[in-house]
Amino acid sequence: RCLLKMVKGNIVVPEEILSFCCNGLQGSTSPPRTREPGEQEEVLGAMANPSPPHNPTEVQMSQLVLPCHTNHRGELSTGQLLKWIDTAACLSAERHAGCPCVTASMDDIYFEHTISVGQVVNIKAKVNRAFNSSMEVGIQVSYEDLCSGKHCSICKAYATFVAQGPSGSKVKLKPLTPQTEEEKIEYSIAAERRRMRLVHKDTLKDLLTRSPRETELETRDGNAAVPAEKTRVESVELVLPPHANHQGNTFGGQIMAWMENVATIAASRLCHAHPTLQAIEMFHFRGPSQVGDRLVLKAIVNNAFKNSMEVGVCAEAYGQEMSISRRHINSAFMTFVVLDQGGRPRNLPMVAPEAGDGERRYREASARKKIRLDRKYVISCKQTEVPLSVPWDQSNKVYLSYNNVSALKTLVAKANWVLAREKDKVRMYTLEEDKFLSFRIEMSVCIAAGQAFSLLSDLRRRHEWDSHYASAELVQQVDDDDMIYHVVSETLSQENKPQDFVILASRRKPCSKGDPYVVAFRSVTLPTHPASAGFTRGETLCSGFCIWPESEETSKVAYYNQATPGYLNYVTTNVAGLSSNFCATFKACEKFLLKNKEDLIVRL
């Protein structure tokens, strides 16, 4: 192995040593033979040019589950799994940064299966995207049964790491260049996930502000609610050298494992059984702790629903001097279930919160459950499993916006686009995939990307260049980046009625150099605008514009559409060359942009 490293490092190795090592690896004891001229160069060339390397930040870890890693049921402890996940993710982050990295946060984790003794845990981690001083690491966890050869997915997680220089100073990270289609998709959507993390607290506050403040208690199966105070747990841990990472700070995975331990105890005190951890809502590290610190871990059941309960857990640190105030290190919310012998969730008793903070935690747990359901419904499901028009409300606006933009970015990053037609410098590409036929229309326009972005993101002006649009009314200005429109189309349906749409338009400016301006569209459902008898309600699953700057005054404008059944006839007619409507429409778009860019400059 050392020899291979020396060869790859272009270190000259004496021929006798090289020959002896090669023969020794083959189990031969014969003396080194004389190589023919040029033969050594061939060997070195073959060894120095292996198959194309994988992502340089990718880390793969395989762990055999031993009895010391398991709980009373012989299943892998979630705390131990969190340690391995954090270790693999940290190694991946440090490969990219080239310096020490610390865990800043861990996104929601949903555990799909348990893992038993004797099975192998396979963890793959790689950096999805690097920002200024932080980076997102994607982690995939699966298990392997060595006897049957079965492989099964356990969970997928996203962690944020921060690179640290001397004395804890932040380090500016080099950009990451994705290579494969999958890497390009993850790279593009990482910016959306980052945006969603930053607004998570505001989403929770907004939902609590609009929800009723009364705390309703009920009984189940004739049993009274259990006081939440009976589930409270407090435990202290002394941070020893084995608990620290290679930087001297307490290992983030160890803190998460300790938190999972006390949370499990709190959940057990409510159900008087052994609970199973189903999901973890974002770990957020607020500061470091070091060897010698005392970590106080607190947990309590915040709320219990019919088949699940939420446990809130936090970690605080202090040194030898008790007079120094405790430092809040971490906090998280964990969802537990209790399974019967058939593997089905059991009903749980209700929780009676204490007055004040207890009632606040009770209400917040209900709000977080709704947010989790919204996230799982809007984000986690495959597009083919989700209705085209998802109901929109204030509580899920962040996740609908995320889904809207990430769906378009995923479509943009696909690698198998095929040029179908080209006319008047307008190019039409198609992508046939599963149940969908998608198309892309693009051309270069003499307009700054920011100006094109401003003009194309306002659907109220779409009728000025798109003959399919009759009108578009702004129904709701959600925020600076998201608007909801009621659109009436000139196209008649099979019922010989005009079509109408309720469309969420989500805008994004570039996150970093090389990113496009994005305007994404998808159908939503609004109670204020139900389907009416005078129109046929149409739907769009994924469409929108991406605008790349080519120079200060030139942009590449591309329109994408994942065609729904009602739109297929238009697409296939243009692809087959029976119509040039797509070309005429896009040329009209170019004229619209050129005509209005001067007016836009004056207004700005």
CB 337 within 8 A of CB 278: yes
Amino acid letter, 134: S
Burial 417-440 (b: 16+ CB within 10 A, else e): eeebbeeeebbbbbbeeeebbbbb
Query: Considering only CA atoms, which of 412, 392, 375, 386 is closest in space to residue 562?
Result: 412
Structure tokens that stand for 486 in this block: 């009621």
How does DSSP assign 6-74, residue by residue?
HHHTT----HHHHHHHHHHHTT--SPPPPPPTTHHHHHHHHHHS-SPP--TT-EEEEEE--GGGB-TTS
* Count of C-beta atoms within a 10 Å radius of residue 62: 11
Please identify every stretch of the chain with a pLDDT value under 70, giving residue numbers as ranges.
1-53, 210-223, 322-324, 374-388, 434, 564-580, 599-604
Structure tokens that stand for 305 in this block: 């629903």
Q: Which domains does the chain have, with CATH numbers?
A: 56-181 (3.10.129.10), 224-381 (3.10.129.10), 383-596 (3.30.530.20)
Q: Which residues contact 105 (CB under 8 A, 6 or more apart)?
A: 159, 160, 197, 282, 283, 284, 285
Structure tokens that stand for 502 in this block: 């309720």
User: How large is the angle between the packed helices 357-375 and 397-412, nearest 10 degrees?
Assistant: 30
Amino acid letter, 276: T
Q: What angle do CA 441, 447, 449 make, to 5 degrees?
A: 75
Residue 445 sits at φ, ψ, to 5 deg, of -130, 140
Q: Distance between CA atoms of 102 and 99, rounded to whole angstroms?
A: 10
The pLDDT, as a whole number, for residue 122 is 97
* Count of C-beta atoms within a 10 Å radius of residue 511: 16
The pLDDT, as a whole number, for residue 15 is 45
The pLDDT, as a whole number, for residue 394 is 75
The pLDDT, as a whole number, for residue 45 is 46
Instruction: State the SS3 of 229-243.
Output: HHHCEEEEEECCHHH
The pLDDT, as a whole number, for residue 421 is 86
The pLDDT, as a whole number, for residue 212 is 61
Amino acid letter, 581: N
How does DSSP assign 350-369, residue by residue?
-EEPPTTHHHHHHHHHHHHH
Residue 332 sits at φ, ψ, to 5 deg, of -160, 165
Beta-bridge mates of residue 279? 110, 335
Q: Which residues contact 293 (CB under 8 A, 6 or more apart)?
A: 238, 239, 250, 317, 318, 319
Q: Distance between CA atoms of 566 and 571, rounded to whole angstroms?
A: 10
Structure tokens that stand for 568 in this block: 């297929």
Query: Considering only CA atoms, which of 200, 201, 195 is closest in space to residue 507?
Result: 195
Whole-angstrom CA distances from 72 to 67, 263, 269, 273 are 10, 16, 16, 12
